[in-house]
Amino acid sequence: MNTRRLGRTGPQVSAIGLGCMGMSDLYGPADQDESIATIHAALDAGITLLDTGDFYGMGANELLIRDALRGRQRENVQISVKFGALRDPAGTFVGYDSRPGAVRNFVAYTLRRLGTDYIDVYRPARLDPNVPIEETVGAIADLVKAGYVRHIGLSEVGVETIRRAHAVAPIADLQIEYSLLSRDIEAEILPVCRELGIGVTAYGVLSRGLLSGQWSKASVTFVARARVSAARTSRTTWRSSRRCVRLQTSAARTRRVSRLPGRSHAAKTSCRSSVRGVERSWSMHSLQPN
């Protein structure tokens, strides 16, 4: 497995990471034993970057990762955690909270659920329209100084927010959707990330199975509804139009882009197949235009 550094200041991670959301939430039923086996297969294949959120399964996803990593060397795995999304007892997304006090509260619960004393990359899940990004990033920077967090990340934000956040503290990476079919970020966001030395952790790289032959109308509809519900709570949530444009030279040619496919459940062979699918997709994505 190839590795690369997330931006100029971030950790060295595997070029392909594993998104764990679907193992606990949003993509329908999941089997815990199969999910743990999938994480083990990913680690055995050389993947070191695991992505989660404290609101995935209302904390269940973090507990799953804790169980999967039991007996493994913590320093050999990088865990990326999103925070800030609020949900009601029915699981509906009802808003965001990125106030400094909330940040400190969220990280305390995450550290306990993960069974670790530090988080490799910590990021707000979306921009809180009621809290300046400077306050949120400043609170995470304090956690970095205290040793609870190693690096600061962002998720689904635009160029103005990226610049403002980076002016407060170094940003390791931006997590955002990017694939052959979702390429809007190439216009403005990728150039700014290159300029500031910020890595990009791309999710949805197989367009929810469309590029790998595993597309499911039922699962895509389910998660789309959940994300629409979440997006409605914030006027400033960055929205991708997901339109297909002509093939052109992309950020996949740089060494600051990592890919983050997600799996709800899989056997070892399926995990390896997913890794190969991502590698094929991004190999195509790196071609020069005719």
Q: One digit per residue, pLDDT tens: the chain, 290 residues? A: 899 999 999 999 999 999 999 899 877 788 899 999 999 999 999 999 999 999 999 999 999 999 999 999 999 999 999 999 999 999 999 999 999 999 999 999 999 999 999 999 999 999 999 999 999 999 999 999 999 999 999 999 999 999 999 999 999 999 999 988 889 999 999 999 999 999 999 988 876 666 666 666 655 554 554 454 444 444 333 333 233 222 222 333 344 566 666 655 444 555 555 555 454 444 333 332 22
Per-residue DSSP letter, 16 = B
Contact 169, 244 (CB under 8 A): no
Q: What is the rounded distance in angstroms from the CA atom of residue 228 to the CA atom of residue 212?
A: 24
What pLDDT shows up at residue 102?
A: 98
Tokens in use for 98?
């990125």
- Give this prediction's pTM: 0.80
What pLDDT shows up at residue 258?
A: 66
> Structural domain boundaries of the chain?
3-282
Annotated catalytic residues are 56
Other Cβ atoms closer than 10 A to 58: 13
What pLDDT shows up at residue 167?
A: 98
What is the domain class of 3-282 according to CATH?
A: alpha beta
Cβ contacts of 231 within 8 Å, gap of 6 or more: 237, 239
What pLDDT shows up at residue 235?
A: 39
What pLDDT shows up at residue 241?
A: 29
DSSP output for 149-175:
EEEEEEES--HHHHHHHHHHS---EEE
